[in-house]
Chain A
Amino acid sequence: MSDLLFFAFTALTAGGALGVVLNKNAVHAAFCLLLSLLGTAGLFVLLNAYLLAALLILVYAGAVVALFVFVVMLIGMQGGTGKPTGRLATVGAFLAFIALLAGAFVTLTREPLPPPVLANMPPVGAELKLYAYQLFTTYLLPVEVSGFLLLVAMIGVIVLAKKDKPEAKA
């Protein structure tokens, strides 16, 4: 059953990703990204990381994809108005894709990892208390830094989004 779900979510994730890459319309690409993220959240649930699955849906599907769709609609760049990708660029991109995949597969198959016995592994990712404990002890400094990063991002976006005044008084 779990194997079946893994393949279903894998198909959803990879299919959605291919949809993002191959779709001509940017709005459709955004919705394919949403599908891919849903599949990823399903995989997180299979890996017992329930909190991360919920966060992925909230942050990515809720905020990021909505923002993408909003911007695509705002500036109206849905269609492919420009000339299509050149032949050389397409072939190069495909070769890079194959090379990356081949490298990953070779690395993964040359030295097979010892198969961990899942029955012996407690699903640590399922417990909320452990996240809180880690975030407020070992990872306290990164939490502070990422909070500061969000503040910087917020102020930066406000500055960037403001219309330039024709003559700003110094």
Chain B
Amino acid sequence: MTIGLHQYLILSCLLFAIGFFGVLLRKNTLVVFMCLELMLVASTIGFVAFSRFNAAMDGNVFVFFILTVAAAEVAGGLAIIVALFRKRQTLMLDELDELKN
């Protein structure tokens, strides 16, 4: 069996699904955020694989922008999480239900 585009795409889908599973399953905001990062990384695997198997640069360059946006997102998100923790003293999603009902 030779490793082709297919195997990389399956891995990418699997990683995305695992990240999605984590976002739905976990209660700790920080871990949910880590799972979001996993989903971003899964998409980069797809981009790089398509780029490699089509001999095109665009996917590779796009990964640059994904990395940049992910870095900005993590900085902003963690700052929001820290500010939230200062106000509420908790990060568990089922305790942060002000908007419910």
Contacts and interface: CB of A to CB of B under 8 A. Distances in A.
Contact of B14 (A14, A48, A121, A153): A14
B91 A77 contact: yes
Interface in A35-88: 36-37, 40, 43-44, 47-49, 52, 55-56, 59-60, 63-64, 67-68, 71-72, 74-75, 77, 80-85
Interface size class of B (residues with CB under 8 A): 35 or more
15 contacts: A36-B41, A49-B60, A64-B74, A82-B90, A101-B14, A108-B13, A113-B6, A124-B57, A131-B60, A131-B64, A135-B61, A153-B72, A157-B76, A160-B83, A161-B79
A154 B71 CA distance: 11
A47 B49 contact: yes
Contacts of A63: 71, 74
Given A48-B52, A75-B85, A64 B70 contact: yes
A38 to B, nearest CB: 11
Given A29-B31, A49-B51, A131-B61, 18 more contacts: A17-B18, A17-B19, A21-B26, A40-B44, A43-B8, A43-B45, A59-B71, A63-B71, A85-B25, A89-B24, A90-B25, A115-B4, A124-B57, A131-B64, A138-B61, A146-B65, A153-B73, A156-B79
Given A3-B1, A97-B21, A68 B34 contact: yes
A41 B38 CA distance: 13
A149 B72 CA distance: 7
A168 interface: no
B24 A77 contact: no
A152 B72 CA distance: 9
Q: Which of B60, B79, B91 has the most CB of A within 10 A?
A: B60
Given A21-B25, A96-B20, A116 B4 contact: yes
A158 to B, nearest CB: 8
Given A52-B48, A105-B13, A75 B91 contact: yes
